[in-house]
Structure 1
Amino acid sequence: MEWQEILGSFVLIPKSPIAVIHFIGGAFIGSAPNFTYRWLLEALAKKGYVVIATPFIITLDHLAISHDLLNRFESILESVNSDIYRGIINLPVYGLGHSMGCKLHLLIGSLSPIERAGNIFISFNNYPIRQAIPFFEQLNFHNVFDLEFTPSPNKTQDIIQKSYIIRHNLLIKLTQDNIDETISLMKILHRKYPNLVALQTLPGNHLTPLGQEVNFKTGNIFTPMDIMKQWFQNKLSNDLYNLKNEILRWLNPGQII
């Protein structure tokens, strides 16, 4: 299965697809999701999920980004629904977001009359601009310009509370993620859909979804350094596998992982 570039986005189409995943990654790293999130997205595609990963360039206007991503996703979905893949457009669609990608999916699900079988949010982050952009405070822009994302963090929460329409949601919080705001999102969604929102806490950090398989080779003599390499490899792999398995379990509880 090879990545296809369609209308500026990246697509994986398995032979017998069972559902479609619209993936949106984090700020900056979301500009090349076929590379930065390659292992996770390919693992989902191997289980029968069409993956449509829509990259974006970060700007202050998150509303405009979310509208653009939805329009591109829908255009790609129609494009791949050719004679070869006829029927894809009728498959259930799930949103999958990481970090800022969660916010963009929430805006899509709040401001557009879309149908989604559910959304999955990994490491939700809704920071204001001075916390979201590295070194912003040191640049002192806020003392000269009144800069903030649109919508602001508070306005984003208001929009979700009033308008978010996707009922089934999985929220994943990673234990060593110090910029995660999943619990605040959980409180909002649980009030709206109390029996349809799941929260899972898994080992890992904010960069776990970007993990790749790492194969360290040992020399002729097994050394303490080789022990450290294997421990590091197993730790990375276990966190990534746990994340992948939890996503698949929620998408299809009866599926063999």
Structure 2
Amino acid sequence: MTLTWQTDGQTWFLLPPQPRAVIHFLGGAFVGSAPQFFYSRLLEELARMGMAVVATPYTTDIDHAQLAFKAAQSLHRSLQSKGLMGLPLFGLGHSLGGKLQILSCLALPSLGSQRRGNIFLAYSNAGLERALPVLQALAQAWPQQQLSTLWRMWMGSSSPPVNLWLEFEPSPAETNRLIEEQYPVRNNLLVEFQQDDIDDIPLLYQQLRRKYGGYTEWQRLEGDHLTPLGFSYPFRVGGEFSPIDAFAQFFYQDLLAPNQRMIRSIQAWLAAQLA
């Protein structure tokens, strides 16, 4: 099945002819600004299994609550405008995108409660000191005006937050409290990668097990924190397909083998949820 990315200027879509369900996707910090590019392999594979993909880009900021609220609003508009409101809804987030998925379920509770399930890839609920050590160090040494200029260069924000060096909003501790008290989604898939030492999957698993018992599945796969990233297959077989092209294709497929195994695991979990 060949599908073409569409956009309304704010959100990116992959829409199969007769979708079985909807996947709302939020990528990681920085790369989440272009999900149709950095996560094209994953999202296009999900679309080929009949999932309507709604990918919301965002500009990284320390106000995670506001990012999540905007993502939830964007999802609601997209479901309405694309005629997808009646379909089963799943959330999918990588790294910071996982935290934003949790917060977006709380930002619009009526929409969050409709979710059939959420998928967390290398989930991160890191504090600012652990997530952005470089900016943390600069904040202690540089005048605020210079730091603001750096923030605009890196984040694309015209009005950087005054207290950049304090903490994300909500903080890791506050996010954990919200999960314990308000998170409404019972079915969850947590994907941890063996070479990833910066995720927060184990703690999230404990929280969700306490809250919802055996409805949470934890998978530990080969790969690292960047395994969810993957571009669409770039080689075209034609009359000039050379031995060098063949070698490059083999190397490319081997490099993305962990990404492909992750995709197959996600597809299997989704198929079970929709059975």
TM range (shorter): 0.7 to 0.9
Q: Are the structure 2 counterparts of residues 168 and 139 from structure 1 closer, same or farther at C-alpha, using a change threshold of 3 Å?
A: same
By how many angstroms is 1:142 displaced? Answer: 8.7
1:200 aligns with 2:196: no
Name the SS for the 2:189 alignment partner. Answer: strand
By how many angstroms is 1:237 displaced? Answer: 2.7
TM value normalised by structure 2: 0.82
Contact 1:97-1:121 within 8 A present in 2 as well: yes
Q: Deviations over 1:17-74 (max 9, x none)?
A: 1000000000110000000101110110011000000001111111111011000111
By how many angstroms is 1:13 displaced? Answer: 0.3
Contact 1:110-1:160 within 8 A present in 2 as well: no
By how many angstroms is 1:181 displaced? Answer: 1.1
Q: Are the structure 2 counterparts of residues 190 and 26 from structure 1 closer, same or farther at C-alpha, using a change threshold of 3 Å?
A: same
Among 220, 238, 241, the alignment partner of 2:257 is 238
Q: Deviations over 1:205-244 (max 9, x none)?
A: 1111112346596449x9xxx6xx6875344232111111
What does 1:241-256 correspond to in 2, within 5 Å?
Answer: 241-253=260-272
Matched residue, 2:155: none
Name the SS for the 1:50 alignment partner. Answer: strand
| Alpha-carbon distance in structure 1 between the residues aligned to 2:79 and 2:67 | 18
Matched residue, 2:159: none
By how many angstroms is 1:253 displaced? Answer: 2.9
Letter in 1 for 2:14: L
1:160 aligns with 2:162: no
Letter in 2 for 1:104: L
Letter in 1 for 2:92: L
Q: Deviations over 1:88-129 (max 9, x none)?
A: 220100000000000011112234312100000000011111
Matched residue, 1:84: none
Stretches of structure 2 that go unaligned for 5 or more consecutive residues are: 145-162, 236-240
Name the SS for the 2:197 alignment partner. Answer: coil
Contact 2:98-2:120 within 8 A present in 1 as well: yes
Matched residue, 1:27: 29
Matched residue, 1:85: none
Name the SS for the 1:195 alignment partner. Answer: helix
Letter in 1 for 2:224: N
What does 1:139-150 correspond to in 2, within 5 Å?
Answer: 139-141=138-140, 145=163, 147-150=166-169
Contact 1:111-1:164 within 8 A present in 2 as well: no
By how many angstroms is 1:137 displaced? Answer: 3.4
| Alpha-carbon distance in structure 1 between the residues aligned to 2:67 and 2:128 | 16
| Alpha-carbon distance in structure 2 between the residues aligned to 1:167 and 1:187 | 14
Q: Deviations over 1:155-213 (max 9, x none)?
A: 11011111101000000001111211101110101100111000001101111111234
Matched residue, 2:68: 66
Matched residue, 1:103: 99
Name the SS for the 1:211 alignment partner. Answer: coil
Q: Are the structure 2 counterparts of residues 137 and 76 from structure 1 closer, same or farther at C-alpha, using a change threshold of 3 Å?
A: same
1:121 aligns with 2:140: no
By how many angstroms is 1:132 displaced? Answer: 1.3
Contact 2:72-2:105 within 8 A present in 1 as well: no
Stretches of structure 1 that go unaligned for 5 or more consecutive residues are: 82-87
Letter in 2 for 1:41: L
Root mean square deviation of aligned Cα: 2.4
| Alpha-carbon distance in structure 1 between the residues aligned to 2:139 and 2:251 | 39
Contact 1:7-1:76 within 8 A present in 2 as well: no
Q: Are the structure 2 counterparts of residues 73 and 232 from structure 1 closer, same or farther at C-alpha, using a change threshold of 3 Å?
A: same
Contact 2:93-2:119 within 8 A present in 1 as well: yes
Q: Are the structure 2 counterparts of residues 231 and 203 from structure 1 closer, same or farther at C-alpha, using a change threshold of 3 Å?
A: farther
| Alpha-carbon distance in structure 2 between the residues aligned to 1:175 and 1:27 | 21
1:13 aligns with 2:15: yes
Contact 1:21-1:93 within 8 A present in 2 as well: yes
Query: May I ask how many residue pairs the two structures share in their alignment?
Result: 243
Matched residue, 1:131: 130
| Alpha-carbon distance in structure 1 between the residues aligned to 2:222 and 2:77 | 36
What does 1:188-227 correspond to in 2, within 5 Å?
Answer: 188-212=207-231, 213=233, 218-219=243-244
* % identical equivalent positions: 38
Contact 2:68-2:107 within 8 A present in 1 as well: no
TM value normalised by structure 1: 0.87
